[in-house]
Structure formats: structure tokens, C-alpha cells
Amino acid sequence: MRVLTVLGNRPQSVKAAAVSRVLRQRHEEILVHTGQHFDDELSTIFERELGVPKPEVQLGLGGGSNTEQTAKQLAALGPLVAQRRPDVVLVYGDTNSTLTGGIAAVQAGIPVVHVEAGMRSWDWKMPEEQNRVLTDALSDLLLVPSKTAQANLEREHPRGRVIYVGDVMVDVADLFRPKARENSAVLERYGVTPGEYVISTTHRAANVDDPARLRKLVDLLLAVPHQVVLPLHPRTRARLEAAGWYDELAAKVVLTPPLGYLDFTALLVHAHTALTDSGGVQKEAFLARTRCVTMRDTTEWVETVQSGWNELVDLDTERALVALERPMPAEHPAPYGDGHAAEHVVAAIETLDV
Ligand code: UDP
């Protein structure tokens, strides 16, 4: 089969690290990067560390509002899909690139496979939630990472087929966590001791785009009684600089550029706590048995909260400080599959009648 995969940001490259490896053993893959969030240096690190193949097509369409991005991506993906005539279009997660890959395929009459289907935060204001719901509606194969996602879709009765495959990020985490755990150089680089610092990430529009919310976020980070290490997402950096709060934060928090997966994972597995608004990081903290405090009031990864490994505090500093010191649960369930999700994804694709 010829599979055209559309990527647009960092977590999608992590997911492709798992799937492309298996897919390419038996099928042809055309990897397209829209450039929605593209960092050349980081992308090279991901290729080297995780074996993510170099995208064959780079559309270079970064910047702009969600609507502008969607329009630009569709204008480029439409002719590309028509020209390459893949048997299947494969999309991951919940970005604008997920949605536009799906629309371009549907309009060309090509089946769509959505990996990480069925996730819901039930917060319709989140751009990611809009992308998830719309992409699920147009997909032929909805590959879910958890039983919760499966139950969500059973209630919605989508037109495509729903298959539980587990989470492809578990495959990547299982594969690379041992190597990351050995990587002490990054802790030395940032002057932190295992178990004593907090690793943080933040980039959700709801937390950084509105100056009042951004201020609450800065105050929360400044109140943490541990050294905080925060690899800054480009969007967050831009918002902090525009508000004039970058230097104030940098005086107390170790602000780093976005890190490679192995450096980031080393900091995550050895941290006292992960303090984040990222979906992927909540789950990776759970998998690494690192306590997590999430700066949102909803999550798609409900099992991490139900099991006690993750706590939602929104931007409430008092609640965050309590959650940061809570004891870790004794039990650690495995709701996200068997670590072979990529194989299940490829097997599911092979059931398509194309
Ligand atoms: N990540 C990384 N370097 C960093 C921060 C995160 O490699 O400096 C990885 C992290 O391990 C996870 C993914 O990027 O696999 C999460 O991406 P992000 O927070 O951008 O997206 P989200 O999961 O919120 O969609």
C-alpha cells in the first residue's frame, strides 16, 4: 500500500517514530510535514535519536491563525494528494494538520486513518478538541489509544470503524526510556539533582495567549519551592517576551530551548514532579511513574488522574503547591496498551479494502 502521512508538530513526530518504523517494513510511506510547528534543529535531533524518517515533502506553512493555517494547508495538501494518489492518508492526534490531512483525503475519495482517535476533553473551546471531533467524523478507521476513547466513540456512532490499538507513544517511551534514564549529562547541564527539581512544559493557547492567564501561569511557576526547568515552546517564549515577563521568570526558573526527546525524557524520569499543560507529557509522566500536576481543568488522559498519578489544578497556585507534594500512588495500571500499538496500527490499515 502507499500511505501518505501528514505531520505538523513535535508530538506527531514522536508518534511517527513508532509507526513509520513498522509501516515501512511492508508498505510505501510518503511523509509530509506541513511546517505548522517546525524547528529544523529539533527535527534533525528527532531523526537522529528516534529514527523519525526525514519528511519527503516540506510544505513550510507555519504561522497565522488557526483558520489561516487550515486554509493554507488545505490549498497545498489538496493538489499533493491528487498528484501522489495514495491508497490511504494517515493522520495523528489533534492539530490543524490532522484535520487538513483528513479533509484533503476525503475530498479526493481516499480513506483516512486517524491514530489517537476518540480522545475528548469535552472543552469545545480548545482548538485541539475541535480538530479531534472533526477528524473523527471524517475518518474511515478510528484507532483508539484507550478504552475511554473507545467508549467516547461508541456514544458518538462515527461512520468509520473503531479499533483499539493502544497508544503509540507507549511504544516510543518503552523503547527509549532506558536510554534516557542513563542520560545524566542533561541534569548536569542544567545543575539539577534527581528527585529534587520540577520539569515543566506549557504551550496551550488557553494558558499563554491571554495576558491575564499568562500572568497567573508566571506567578504559579515562580511560587514552586523546587528548581523548575522549563524547555520553552516557541509560542510561550513569544508571549512572555511580548508581555515583558521573560526576564522575571528567567531569574528563578531554568528556561531552556526545546529539547531533544532523550534529554527531555531524562529530565522527566528523574524529576520530583512534572508540571505541564501538555497532553503527551501528562501521559509520559504517568508511564515513567513521575508525579504529574496538570495546569488545565480538563484532560483527555483521564486514567492518569483516576489512578492518582496526575492531578488537575488549572492555574491555581495553592492547589498546585499541595498537588506537588502529594504522595505517589502504590498502584500503577496500564490503560494505554501493550507497547506494540504501532504493529496494531499497521495491521488495522491492512484490513482496509483499497
Ligand atoms: N518534548 C520534547 N522536548 C521538549 C518538550 C517535549 O521532545 O522540550 C516531547 C515530549 O516528550 C512529548 C512531546 O514532545 O513526547 C509533547 O509535545 P507537546 O507538549 O508539544 O504537545 P502535546 O502533547 O501537548 O500535544
DSSP string, 64-99: S-HHHHHHHHHHHHHHHHHHH--SEEEEETTSHHHH
In this structure, the answer to whether residues 183 and 161 fall within a common structural domain is no
pLDDT for residue 299: 97
**DSSP H or E run through 229:** strand 227-231
Q: How far is CA 232 from CA 56, 79, 219, in A?
A: 28, 35, 16
- Total structural domains in the chain? 2
Q: Is residue 331 part of a domain?
A: no
The alpha carbon of 258 and the centre of ligand 1 are apart by a number of angstroms equal to 9
The alpha carbon of 259 and the centre of ligand 1 are apart by a number of angstroms equal to 9
The SS3 call for residue 3 is strand
In this structure, the answer to whether residues 151 and 245 fall within a common structural domain is no
Q: Is residue 333 part of a domain?
A: no
Give the Cα separation of 23 and 257 in Å (integer): 32
| Ligand 1 near 201 CB (within 6 A) | yes
In this structure, the answer to whether residues 157 and 186 fall within a common structural domain is no
The alpha carbon of 79 and the centre of ligand 1 are apart by a number of angstroms equal to 30
Q: Point out the catalytic residue in the list 33, 37, 114, 203.
A: 203
Domain CATH code at residue 24: 3.40.50.2000
In this structure, the answer to whether residues 25 and 63 fall within a common structural domain is yes
In this structure, the answer to whether residues 163 and 19 fall within a common structural domain is yes
In this structure, the answer to whether residues 320 and 189 fall within a common structural domain is yes
| Ligand 1 near 8 CB (within 6 A) | no
Name the closest-CA residue to atom 3, ligand 1.
Answer: 259
pLDDT for residue 40: 79
Structural domain boundaries, residue 116: 2-167+338-349
Radius of gyration of the chain from Cα atoms?
20
| Ligand 1 near 276 CB (within 6 A) | no
Give the Cα separation of 60 and 76 in Å (integer): 10
| Ligand 1 near 301 CB (within 6 A) | no
Q: Is residue 283 part of a domain?
A: yes
| Ligand 1 near 29 CB (within 6 A) | no
pLDDT tens for residues 35-76? Answer: 998 787 888 888 899 999 999 999 999 889 999 999 999 999
Q: Is residue 182 part of a domain?
A: yes
The alpha carbon of 109 and the centre of ligand 1 are apart by a number of angstroms equal to 33
| Ligand 1 near 279 CB (within 6 A) | yes
**Ligand 1 atom with minimal separation from the 172 CA:** 15
In this structure, the answer to whether residues 37 and 138 fall within a common structural domain is yes
Is 203 labeled as catalytic in the residue annotation? yes
**Ligand 1 atom with minimal separation from the 14 CA:** 15
φ/ψ (deg, to 5) at 288: -85, 0
In this structure, the answer to whether residues 159 and 225 fall within a common structural domain is no
Strand ranges of the sheet holding 254-256, from the earlier edge strand across to the other edge: 254-256, 227-231, 197-201, 273-276, 291-294, 310-312
Q: What's this model's pTM, rounded to 2 decimal places?
A: 0.95
In this structure, the answer to whether residues 156 and 189 fall within a common structural domain is no
Q: With 0-12 CB in 10 A as exposed, 13-18 as middle and 19+ as buried, what is 330?
A: exposed
The alpha carbon of 251 and the centre of ligand 1 are apart by a number of angstroms equal to 24
**pLDDT < 70: residue spans in the chain:** none
pLDDT for residue 47: 87
**CB contact at 8 A, 277 and 207:** yes
Give the Cα separation of 304 and 318 in Å (integer): 21
Give the Cα separation of 198 and 202 in Å (integer): 13
Q: Is residue 233 part of a domain?
A: yes
Give the Cα separation of 225 and 25 in Å (integer): 49
pLDDT for residue 37: 87
**Ligand 1 atom with minimal separation from the 128 CA:** 25
| Ligand 1 near 36 CB (within 6 A) | no
Candidate of 10, 131, 169 to mutate for ligand 1, largest count of ligand atoms within 8 Å of Cβ:
10
Give the Cα separation of 105 and 135 in Å (integer): 11
| Ligand 1 near 46 CB (within 6 A) | no
Q: Is residue 295 part of a domain?
A: yes
Strand ranges of the sheet holding 28-33, from the earlier edge strand across to the other edge: 57-58, 28-33, 2-7, 88-92, 112-115, 141-144, 161-164
In this structure, the answer to whether residues 141 and 181 fall within a common structural domain is no
In this structure, the answer to whether residues 189 and 238 fall within a common structural domain is yes
Q: Is residue 79 part of a domain?
A: yes
The alpha carbon of 281 and the centre of ligand 1 are apart by a number of angstroms equal to 6
Q: Is residue 354 part of a domain?
A: no
In this structure, the answer to whether residues 152 and 7 fall within a common structural domain is yes
